[in-house]
Structure 1
Amino acid sequence: MSKRILFTGGGSAGHVTVNMALIPKFMEMGWDVKYMGSKQGIEAELIQNMDHVEYIGISTGKLRRYLDWENLKDPFRTIKGVLQAYRLIRRMKPNVVFSKGGFVSVPVVIGAWLNRIPIIIHESDITPGLANKISIRFASKICVTFPETLEHINNDKVLHIGAIVREQFMHGSVLRGLNLCHFTRHKPVIVCMGGSLGSQRINEVLRRNLHPLMDKFQIVHICGKGQIDPSYANYRGYKQFEYVHGDLVDILAMADIVISRAGSNSIFEFLSLKKPMLLIPLSKEASRGDQILNALSFKSSGYCEVLFEEDMNDNSFIDAINKLYDNRHEIIDKMENRSNKGTLRKMIDLIESTSI
């Protein structure tokens, strides 16, 4: 009888991509793979596109850090989700649960713990998010991406395993990317993306400065759901997308530089592709500050330039892009000297050894 693994994680694409890297490997090994998350979150959209993976939606709350009337309802949604997860997991009997985090994972982790199923958690950022802070006490193993994270989690179950990147990212085609965007080989390409939900601030400053930038660059703008501006639809050398799934590997393959937020999974994907980055982390007012720490860690390693949102204006934005492009060869050299081989295999081996 084949072993069974239950994946969870969601709320943003960053809480799903590591799972998407692991799922094909376990399917190749003959495991029965299931995924549990919210009923209508981005994880449902992404995972339901994967063949032979059963997706199970449950009730989930949202762990907000701001005042909202929905905060009064969310504990009840979470409790309902725990009860649903407990019953489903009891019936499903997975050998192990792998959680990538995000608020949708909390009911699944608790439901698995109540069923005495081993749980492995993966934390991408330097400091753990609120969902993982709650879930850590229930975990069998806690895997971290940054070595600095070991200073923030006082637990003998934690180990540094590194970044897990989807293997398909290494097989993008420059030619397919150029054809998709109707670009040429005669100008360098910027890929600008603000995370799975987009970034209004980055979108605005990029569009205000399209004309001076397009004198030098071709630009792919992944702007987020509902944020395409039709008035720019016919600009030659500027291509907008709301969100990109399978074609992202080809778009990144043709990129000379990338402008992005500083979510851990994304920046490690850019690093694996040796793409110099301008990172614009979410401010502390809009987040818990994890992206700032991620960006500063990469800056100290020489992999990127950093532009804080509070300092971003038209001039600083253009200057940072030009500085990054001018220094791209030096940055790529530093990326070449980095070693992160075997991380995916280490994670698979850990999951296998932890399963019951």
Structure 2
Amino acid sequence: MRWVSTVTAAAIGAGVVAGPVAAATPSAAAPQRGEAVTSTVHCTSKDRELAKKLSDDIAGALASRKSMASLSFYDRPTKTRCTSDAAKKYDSASVAKTIILAALLYEKGGTLTEAEDALARKMITESDNASATTLWKQLSDLTDPAKPNPVKIQEFLDKAGMDHTVLDQEGSWGLTQVTADDQAKLLRLFSGDDDAVLGSKARAYALGLMNHVQSTQRWGATAGAPLDSVIQVKNGWMQRSQNADVESFDRGDWKVNSMAVLTENGYDSGLAILTENNRVPEGHPAKEGWDYGIKTIETVSRTIYRDIYPGAEGYDPSGPSSPATEPSTAK
């Protein structure tokens, strides 16, 4: 693997960066607990110039945003991988539904009942919360019904090596803690050919549901994806409340997450982007924080696909109309 080139774009002031090529360019800066946060973009590829361009361009895209963002990207054909703060934990919102789906398929050996199929389809294609809650409970120890312990989901995470994902033990699946790296690992599992965790039937089923997510929820990590690829996506979002039990830095901000995988016609890549601290300016509509998170994700997504697939006509999401149907308590 000595031919793999490594490029790092570090935040200004981060000091000297080791590696064949280093670029000191600004990355994400965002207020959390009143402090600016910087992160590093790190790319590897068999193409040294591509690694450098991706690293610099992603850092530039993040530098223009005020919210916090983490990402993990892979492209199998070019042996390219990019990460930025990919081990940081975020509230999952509805991207947890991909974990619930994978755990269900793992538990059932890829063969679902008619009722389970109906729940899984609503959960992924419509992002239905009630369906997710039903399946979460099905995969839980219900000794204490008030606190369903998702033991079967944990078994899947252990098998899949998603070691940094922390399931919510109070039954609030949307508050499960996820990382960009673990979500990208799940995408690689869905789009790969290894039967050790999920068989081919289960993997195809998962991708099929993500391919049929309704049009108003196909924004985010799909932006700029080549039109001749098959695009699979799952998004999640929620606005934290202003309640006193929510940490002050977190009150009222939006968590906006997106994950997409491209397959067929020679494409084989996955992208997971997680964001938080998407603020709503005082006196402004709540939707502005949600829109800001989506814009952050799509800015990075377009940057990555433009560099990986230069000249390809990119997908332009129609965009959602309103987050009103996504309750903050579950998303």
TM-score by length of 1: 0.30
Greater Cα radius of gyration, structure 1 or 2: 1
Which structure dedicates a bigger proportion of its chain to helix?
1
TM-score by length of 2: 0.31
Which structure dedicates a bigger proportion of its chain to strand?
2
